[in-house]
A and B are shown apart, each in its own frame.
Chain A
């Protein structure tokens, strides 16, 4: 198990040091600093073995978090734990920075004592932790007996992510379908790989212990209904979405509140949600993806000192929809001396420090086309190595889900309190963003 946990600033000064196991000594703190943070070469692996001691590290801005062990631990678990710890810290005091860590070091030690025992991760749900790790020591002394047992049963219980007795005057929930669409296209316009990785983020403000059921246009479910038609899908496409067609989901993973065995057997997504914002599910699709933009590059080398670049982008969605925050990044060689650009729409600039021409367009409707041309002057070099021609990348945001996913319903049942599914106000929003959206040139 995890033997110790250290947090360093960018200089390698230790900010937090908590040792859980006897086999980890103080010298481990220095070993990581010398061999990883101050290493001459860039570290080639997130796991480093130094003198039979293994170090796992992740970096958040310029803060290093390192977990140390001498045993054959579950490596995936250690990283997941480090991520979780970052989440918990962010939930308590915001951005993970040197200043924030120093300001909250007592709190961090208290958290570390709670979420890691003898190197074994314990309940690390912020919702639960915030009920008893409050940084107001005196107050927690005055919990009543009922409150205390409520805390402990929540921390250790089946529904460790939600406490009882939550009340809202207005029961409301927000669903965000957030997708990032990834593309790698050849210069000839052939799709080399494309996939959507999506997340359904839910903000729930619901009273009591609501039992929820989430439905989407998952091909497997729709096909099943087409054949037999199950009773509990009476309220089809209740939350809008013309959703006739269904989509094939390659794989999905769920927040721990979702009953996985039920999903496995019936493919239904049922759960008692945490209070507030959390990620309900993640999914991945590769079939029939709507690629919102197509990039057509044309690069011509004119002699040894000049490049001509022309890039056309075409938007490929309903004309009534607007894409936003469009940015096209055209890499330029290292020996670029000057660039002239002409673009039809938006603004384009050569950024020498980034070795790229950055072309920005605020808004663009569907089924439109725009173009940029640039002349790049090159300094003659005797560098034998050819320019690697990195791909042209693109960023954008569109108000639909490129995977075609539609929310069909989200039903809420709270048998003990007197509100029904109809009383809950529900909001759904779709946002498609570019992930790694690249076209080779």
Chain B
């Protein structure tokens, strides 16, 4: 049987003939006719006029024919809404069919018919199907809710379908769960704040169970949904990670990438010094490498994502540079992406290999690829100082090939190398000048002109060279014009005697003959500078230039965080946030962008301790925390300067609690411009003690390659509350009585709407323990103890009147009252 014949009928009276055939008495003839209609539909012919005739064929026992008619209906119902109603009866009837395949088919198709009148009739059958005994029907119905929501959101809410859908998350069948999750995720995108999915630990547990059992596609839906969850603490984050990691061995690359997404997001929550954190990082690398042995399209998606991962956490793949070496037969899109990642991973350890590869690539055929390879060599030189010399000689070799675009690209990167390592490689200028004539691209011309101007004093015929560019000044691009103007001014400042005429010429070209305001302005500035004060002009024009950054093309950190939340998706392929390419993108995307921020603030809010303006571009924000019995200073260092920063160190002044860092500052790699690093500095209290005012004041000195900076911050006292601060009941009683009344302090905490048990729980989380609780005359009395790291005990009585939001605290001891009060307020 061949169906291809249906594609070949395209006579003029076709529609008419088809009509006759559709109404033929013989079943087989009718079926043939419907096939012809579908074939015509596929190639784009309008066969909507046959609507009533096709619908007539719907009442049939033949499942194949029925499916074909449904396919037709889905395509044309919208254009023939009145006639589509004719089909309703048949659908409703099919939804009652004893065969679950037919019930599912009916509900699936009905959802695809976007006609208001039909959707009204859909509700009852859908409600039944959502509770159908057969899982196949339920899983189809789950998706149908999403379809209906797309047509009429209000109706879905009014009819209570969202609740039915939520119930399906607890379904016994894993595929039903997966489809329900997919449908709910999609619906919740249009209700950003509704918490439709209601991700609580119980539901998460159900999802994790279904994850082990459902199809590969279902696993993707569930993982993508999990990645939107915010675990309540690091323990929960870890336990979810543990149950997600097995997915990294799945054959389906989308399952792997979605699992990577969940893990990358939850890594943020795990303490960086825990063993598990390290193990997890190690587990991420092999599956990412394996993705590169897949088909080229998947490799491409994987590489775009790896590009993000390498920027976020370079440690994961730093040992794996070899897998990114380009293969001769890789499609060009794979080659370009690999090259990008190679440069990001290049380091002193692997630079020799990388350079050998890049040199090889620079002789390939594809122009874009070759250019990128040449550029990469330049970037290596700038990134790894030890390799600069080798890179320069490689670039010179490439210039010798005289391949036009290679030469031009090489000259552009050599300019950057000159800027990074001034007064080191100027000996090659002569070779560069030989190629002056072959440069026809603005970038390359500008680069060459810059070099000539910058080193005018070493180039004998600099004036001639620059003059040669002046001839066609007005035909050059703005970039070249601007560079040429500056270069000639530089030349003049260096060799004033011979070049006066030249500089006058360029100034008049720029100011009088040009329509470009930028060029004119710059021309006038130079002109006035030169005519009023040549010394100042020299200082301005020939001033030392700031160093250029080692890393380029880095994605801006907030965007990077957002993209990490979208690993595996189109956003990660485009390296653009979803709202940049999705029409009417809903709030959820913005929402997920904030997620990282929320997760970071999980434990406490960062405060800016050292603003960038006070520290030559270094900004430090931080907070203190106590985790698992240890104290930490959690800080984010941001480099807002134009140069990179290295050689960080930290020191504390003597303080009331003897706090000192137990390890040096864990910043081992240079901090690039616009880069930030999160660190967690472990603290101990074994240092020298000196009473500070206020008591919890800490003075800190931070040093980097630029300077030393000082700031002070307040340590929240609760980080000093130790875990064994629960006093024996008897001891508590005795101690309490022993304290003389004059040592007692009393004060009120205002506006605290919590009952005694919640307060007690919250305080316990911060190592303030409730020793006893009493109820006196309708008031709850809490007796509490805590111990500081220096062994001092603090006792307190907390009186809570139900209905009165103000608490009374009687604190019989010591002067930390303020602290205690503040602490209760915070733990709210």
Contact = CB atoms under 8 A, between A and B. Distances in A.
Nearest to A153: B135
A105 B147 contact: no
A137 B68 CA distance: 11
Nearest to A255: B251
Interface in A236-273: 250-256, 259-261, 263-265
B246 A263 contact: yes
A105 B300 contact: no
A149 B322 CA distance: 52
Interface in A103-154: 103-106, 109-110, 113, 117-118, 120-125, 132, 135-138, 140-141, 143, 145, 148-149, 151-153
Interface in A272-288: 279, 281-282, 284
B582 interface: yes
Interface string A71-103: 111111101111100000000000000010011
A404 B215 CA distance: 33
Contacts, number: 298
B38 A105 contact: yes
B99 A148 contact: yes
Contact of B42 (A17, A49, A132): A17
A143 B99 contact: yes
A21 B111 CA distance: 11
B251 A113 contact: no
Nearest to B104: A152
Interface stretch (B136-144, B379-387, B660-668, B678-686): B136-144
A192 interface: yes
B353 interface: yes
Interface stretch (B310-318, B323-331, B495-503): B323-331
Interface string B62-97: 111111101100010000000000000000000000
A30 to B, nearest CB: 9
Contacts of B430: none
Contacts of B573: 47, 75
Contact of B300 (A17, A46, A120, A265): A46
B289 A79 contact: no
A253 B72 CA distance: 41
A14 B43 CA distance: 6
Contacts of B139: 122, 156
B250 A260 contact: yes
B173 to A, nearest CB: 5
Given A73-B569, A263-B246, A250 B215 contact: no
A99 B67 CA distance: 23
Given A106-B38, A264-B245, A436-B327, A123 B175 contact: yes
Contact of B4 (A99, A251, A389): A99
Contacts of B475: none
Contacts of A72: 566, 569-571, 578, 581-582, 585, 589
Interface string B32-65: 0001001100111000000000000000011111
Nearest 7 A-B pairs (CB), nearest first?
A137-B64, A251-B286, A102-B4, A152-B136, A264-B246, A76-B254, A77-B254
16 contacts: A22-B150, A47-B574, A79-B254, A79-B295, A80-B252, A82-B297, A102-B2, A103-B1, A103-B2, A117-B179, A153-B135, A156-B135, A254-B250, A254-B251, A260-B250, A284-B286
Interface of A: 1, 13-17, 19-23, 26, 29, 42, 44-47, 49, 52, 54, 56, 58, 69-77, 79-83, 99, 102-106, 109-110, 113, 117-118, 120-125, 132, 135-138, 140-141, 143, 145, 148-149, 151-153, 155-158, 160, 184, 186, 192-193, 195, 197, 250-256, 259-261, 263-265, 279, 281-282, 284, 384-386, 388-391, 393, 436, 438, 440
Interface of B: 1-4, 6-7, 35, 38-39, 42-44, 61-68, 70-71, 75, 98-101, 104, 108, 111-112, 114, 134-137, 139-140, 143-144, 146-147, 150, 173-176, 179, 182, 186, 212-217, 220-221, 224, 243, 245-247, 249-254, 256-258, 286-287, 289-290, 293, 295-298, 300-302, 322-323, 325, 327-329, 332-333, 336, 353, 356-357, 360, 363-365, 368, 401-403, 566, 568-574, 578, 581-583, 585, 589
